[in-house]
Amino acid sequence: MNETLFAPPAASQTALFSVKRAGVFLGARITGIDLSKPLDTATVDALKLAHAEHGVLVFPDQKISSGDLLRFGRYFGELSVHPFSTNAEDSPELIVYDNKEGNPPAPTDIWHTDETFRACPPMGTALCSKIIPEVGGDTAFASMSAVYEGLSDRMQHFLSGLEAVHDFKPFRGLFPNTREGVERMRRFEDLYPPVTHPVVAAHPVTGRNVLFVNPQFTLYIKGMAEDESRHLLELLYRKTLVHEYQYRHHWEPDMVVFWDNRGVQHSALHDYYPQRRLMERITIAGTAPIPASAPADPASLRRYLMPPVTAFKDSRQQRQHERD
């Protein structure tokens, strides 16, 4: 794997850290940095670029406090408060997931971009692992620029300019079907009415086109018949399942993972329940997704999938069934 050193100006030695790719299309392991201490501007600037470039930053061996995690998040923007999550009382920007027997995880094992029911979804989310199950509990990530670039040129042109409506639909079940519950849900509907986002967004840092629909929050594509929209969305969701576009993160205790919500989707596996898994989360506010102005220039695309094995012809060993 390539290893890159971000070398800051000589005067700022603390800004040096190491980046080692963890997946083919996304994911990088960051070492040589201590998140229990304040970071200088050069380090933060380099981290912002690495975050956009690699999509998922993994910081191992970070024994940090909740306050350290909150400080880390604030380097990247204002922290946001999740409207449907149980938040820490004295610090509403901090979410503590303490899943164990009797407290199963929320339905986050569906591919999604965080909080796209907002007009301005978060730019990123960071999790810090405190207690990890003996087995299971990985988080899977997918590069949505890789997914987009893997689409045919015809499909990219077809998607260009389309818009989709997003809603907080998975959280509607949190409101009981009582008069009070319905009234509370109506108040949230006023605060978070359905929003429209481009189906293909331009990443604000890298400029790369990303597919920006997800099965957790997207309702439908505007201007299409219901069955057309449903089938097209299902097709696009299936593209996220291609293994080559993914990085599956295996947790160890005291890891911080900070992902770019503008360019990756994720799904948290629930296979560990009822073992205990304790995580802390912070979320950084973002800006409205930018519609991609045009399909990417085909010459600029990296077509990611491996060619079929038969394309290698004579340069590979023959399999048994291919021999006479």
Binding residue count for Fe ion, defined by CB under 5 A:
1
> Edge-to-edge strand order for the sheet containing 163-166?
195-198, 163-166, 218-221
Report, in Å, the least distance between residue 119 CB and Fe ion.
Answer: 18
CB 112, min distance to Fe ion, A = 6
Dihedral sign, Cα of residue 116, residue 69, residue 255, residue 13: positive
Counting contacts by CB under 5 A, is residue 260 touching Fe ion? no
The residue among 62 and 283 lying less far from Fe ion, judged by its C-beta, is 283
Distance CA 224, CA 145 (A): 24
Closer residue to Fe ion (CB): 114 or 149: 114
Nearer to Fe ion, 114 or 260 (CB): 114
Q: Are 156 and 295 in contact (CB under 8 A)?
A: yes
Binding to Fe ion, residues 4-23 (CB under 5 A): none
Interface mask toward Fe ion for 86-125; x: CB under 5 A: ----------------------------x-----------
* 3-state SS assignment for residue 70: helix
The phi and psi torsions of 242 (rounded to 5 degrees) equal -65, 125
Contact 19, 3 (CB under 8 A): yes
Q: For this structure, is 281 an active site residue?
A: yes
Shortest Cβ 324–Fe ion spacing (Å): 53
Tokens representing 294 are 């045009």
Q: How far is the CB of 266 from Fe ion (least distance, A)?
A: 6
From the candidates 114, 167, 203, 277, give the one annotated as an active-site residue.
114
Q: Which residue's beta carbon is nearest to the bound Fe ion? A: 114
Structural element, H or E, at residue 128: strand 124-131
Q: How far is the CB of 85 from Fe ion (least distance, A)?
A: 10
Q: From the candidates 112, 166, 197, 277, give the one annotated as an active-site residue.
A: 112
Active site residue 112: yes
Q: Count Cβ atoms below 10 Å from residue 287 Cβ, excluding itself.
A: 13
Amino acid in position 168: F
Nearer to Fe ion, 156 or 216 (CB): 216
Establish whether 277 is a catalytic residue.
no
Neighbours of 136 (CB within 10 A): 15
**In residues, how long is the chain?**
324
Residue ranges that bind Fe ion, judged by CB under 5 A: 114
The set of catalytic residues is 112, 114, 266, 281
